[in-house]
Amino acid sequence: ICKYSEHCCDPLCSASAKFNGSLSFHSFPVRSDLRSQWLINIRRDQFTVSPHTKVCSRHFIPDHLIEPKTPEGRRRLTKDAVPLLFDWNGYSIQAPRLSVWERRERPADPASLEDPSTDLTVDHDYCSAPEPSSLDTSCAENEDLSREVEELRNQLHELRVQLTFGLQRFSGSDEDIRFYTSHPSTKWFGSQEQRLQLRRMKMCLIHECQGYDNIFLPKKQQQVLQPVDEFFLFLVQLSVGLKERDLGHRFNIHPSTVSRIISTWTNFLYTLLGPVCIGLSPEDVKKNLPSEFQDYPDTQVILDCTELRCQTPSSPLLQSEMYSTYKSHCTMKGLVGTAPHGAVTFLIKQSGLAKLLTEEMAVMVDKGFLITDCVKCKVYCPPFLSKQSQMPAYQVTETQSIARLRVHVERVIRRIKQNKLFDGIISLSHSVNINQLFTVACLLSNYQNKALVKSWVK
């Protein structure tokens, strides 16, 4: 845009930048009160002011003009400059009249040196629509506010994730996942999430079935937690052993809701994992047989029993049935069988293992398992001292060898009992679903770190 197109908007002034190179042309101020004073002095009341409307420098007194410091600079106006010199007042202003008591002239107000807005020029006024300069300021403020709102939303989302005790909060820390669930990593949860979502659609919550004769017509209620977070809650209660009230505070739900979620997922996982065949064929066992079992290559399963301490029941009959002289406490008993490489392959409420063993197989047990007459297969059991005063050397070697290999099933049981729910004294309130809980804990151990199971025999 050529600067020679600038001209003065005063109706009685014909100054133009094309013919008056020594003059400077200045835009109207942004302040509404100052702009109104300009229009009054110019005597153009019904006049539309655009960013390209100019007033030449001959209408300003010298005190209102700031000369440029460099030849390339532009002449500027002071902050409160107003055009005062016009044709109708002879391009002069009258000096202020002194009062009777004044002996000197009134001092002029000090002028500010602030810069006005940058001048913009076009060929003619009609080349662009008039735009108030405050519009650009409003747009810039809106953009700043939009960015600030977006930042606050991100901060709010991060705070919500930090305050929510769920899988998403610990998704970036495999160490926390192992601590709260005993499972290897978040990746494992990701592989199970889609599977759980499909099964969860067919799951009927415990409280949904109460009061209905037909369980296939459940009462529809709003789901409090996502299925993967419900699964995470169940694993936290099983692995860490937190109380229901504690879990309610962590997940921001009522303790009764925690109880229903745990009962629902206990039965759901028992139904989901129970039908899965965990028994291995002799070929699969030999395929994964560790080298340490080369002296016992036909070993199909290693058996051992475990006991979980529980509250003493009030019934004398139950006390006599549940009391353990080994633990000196009332206990719940369970039988666990593992393959030589460490996977849980046998777990049943009422033992039917004898029907599954054939003459080509062998089972390894401790001295307490007197099952030689109950099964058709070979039994690897440490020899008894009987009436001997001392065991022969070969029996001592056999006892040490079997004990060294049987430690694998003991370590599997120890891993299962590392779940803090089984670590202390189990409340009788859990007796309703303790079989399901123990079965699920044993079956879930097969989904934990498998490489560690193999390293036990090394």
> How would you write 303-355 as a 3-class SS string?
EEEEEEEECCCCCHHHHHHHEECCCCEEEEEEEEEECCCCCEEECCCCCCHHH
Residue 308 falls within a domain, yes or no?
A: yes
**236 and 353 part of one domain:** no
Domain hosting residue 25, numbered range: 1-131
pLDDT at 258: 92
Q: Distance between CA atoms of 427 and 37, rounded to whole angstroms?
A: 88
Residue 150 falls within a domain, yes or no?
A: no
**187 and 261 part of one domain:** yes
pLDDT at residue 320 greater than cutoff 50: yes
pLDDT at residue 330 greater than cutoff 90: yes
pLDDT at 215: 46
Question: 120 vs 12, which has greater pLDDT?
Answer: 12
Residue 54 falls within a domain, yes or no?
A: yes
Residue 146 falls within a domain, yes or no?
A: no
pLDDT at residue 51 greater than cutoff 80: yes
pLDDT at 245: 92
**209 and 260 part of one domain:** yes
Last residue of a domain, one of 109, 131, 153: 131
**302 and 432 part of one domain:** yes
Last residue of a domain, one of 74, 106, 131: 131
Residue 411 falls within a domain, yes or no?
A: yes
Residue 232 falls within a domain, yes or no?
A: yes
**20 and 114 part of one domain:** yes
pLDDT at residue 12 greater than cutoff 80: yes
Residue 317 falls within a domain, yes or no?
A: yes
When pLDDT is cut at 50, 70 and 90, the band that residue 216 belongs to is: very low
- For range 266-285, the mean pLDDT: 83
**300 and 446 part of one domain:** yes
pLDDT at residue 212 greater than cutoff 50: no
Flag the least confident range among 49-53, 256-260, 325-329, 358-362: 49-53
pLDDT at 453: 40
State the total domains in the chain: 3
Residue 145 falls within a domain, yes or no?
A: no
Tokens at 32, concatenated? 């509404």
Proportion of the chain above pLDDT 70, given as a percent: 77
pLDDT at residue 220 greater than cutoff 50: no
Q: Distance between CA atoms of 53 and 242, rounded to whole angstroms?
A: 76
**226 and 309 part of one domain:** no
89-141 per-position pLDDT tens digit: 777 666 656 555 555 555 555 554 455 555 555 555 555 555 555 666 677 78
**336 and 374 part of one domain:** yes
CB-count burial class (<10 Å; 0-12, 13-18, 19+) for 1: exposed
